[in-house]
Amino acid sequence: MTRVEAKREVLRAIAAPDGEWYWYQLDRAISNGPSGCIGPFLDEINELAADGLIEVRITPDLPGGVRYWLTDAGRGALVENSHA
């Protein structure tokens, strides 16, 4: 699986529970899914954040401490990729 495909899987995984999962939950959802991607996905997460497709928020009061949200650009990219 290419890095682009892995980033697409990360976007899809974040979209479902937008803002509810932390890194390990995302990793398990993707690694145990049908895509065949195996984590960790930290590089992909960092790239998506740098590209403005996801927002990383620190939430110290929750387990895991960090949550991920799609930005408007991330939602657009997800829709665009679903038509490809």
Q: What is the CATH number of domain 3-82?
A: 1.10.10.10
Buried b (16+ CB within 10 A) or exposed e, 32-70: eeeeebebebeebbebbeeeebbeeeeeeeeeeeebbeb
Residues 54-69 pLDDT 10s: 999 888 777 668 899 9
pLDDT recorded at residue 68: 92
Residue 84 has pLDDT above 60, yes or no: no
Residues 21-57 pLDDT 10s: 888 888 888 887 777 778 788 899 999 999 999 999 8
Look up the pTM and report it: 0.84
With cut-offs at 50, 70 and 90, classify the pLDDT of residue 79. Answer: confident
